Amino acid sequence: MINGQTRTITVAFTGASGLPYGVRLVECLIRGGCRVWLLYSQVAQVVARQEMAWNLPGRPADVEAELSARFEAVPGQLRVFGREEWFAPPASGSNPPDAMVVCPCTMATLAAVAGGLSRSLIERAADVVIKEGRKLVLVPRETPYSAIHLENMLKLARLGVCILPPNPGFYHHPQTVQDLVDFVVARVLDQLGVPHRLMARWGDEGAAQ
């Protein structure tokens, strides 16, 4: 909840490396009082096993139950939708979220969003957010970038989309992998206007929590 208002944030997991960023983001949004609409691709299930030893269920209802329990979400705070669930709220401009984050974001998803393809619920949800003038944050995990990748990012940036590569800094002296994850998630939360204390800010002596 921000300024007395419950914010709704759509989060999408795609098949790029970096799923720990997305899961931590969902946790922080829920603990921050936001309502979360979660979407995930089939390849994200493969990445979950590879990077987190997590068997991300194929049924959205199972994911919803598991993450709601893990992050202590209140009833209805987290909703999870299937890849082709076209009657889900994120599919329509009549019920857009306040913002959307694709984290991590594959280059294929980024290209599809840049081209307005809307072949899946993730792509359609991003298209809705752009056309409705809401905040869209893409967290592309790829290196190096090709000219194609850069041109797609530039096209989206010119539309007002935030391109936020997961490049952690080291000036806060990270001690663990979790510190590096939190650095990136903190930057995403800043873009969304969601308060957090994941790390001390530049020039601030306060400790992260």
* Known binding-site positions: 15-17, 41, 106-109, 141, 171, 187
Helix (H, G, I), strand (E, B) or coil at 194: coil
Annotated binding site for FMN, which residues? 15-17, 41, 106-109, 141
Specify burial of residue 163 (Cβ count, 10 A radius: 0-12, 13-18, 19+).
middle
Alpha-carbon dihedral angle through residues 209, 199, 16, 139, given to the nearest 10 degrees: 130
Question: In one letter, which amino acid is 22?
Answer: G
Distance (Å, rounded) from C-alpha 14 to C-alpha 104?
A: 6
- What is the secondary structure of 71-135 as a DSSP string? TTPPTTSEEEE-TT-TTSGGG-TTS--SEEEEEEE-HHHHHHHHHT---SHHHHHHHHHHHTT-E
Annotated binding site for dimethylallyl phosphate, which residues? 171, 187
Distance (Å, rounded) from C-alpha 118 to C-alpha 137?
A: 17
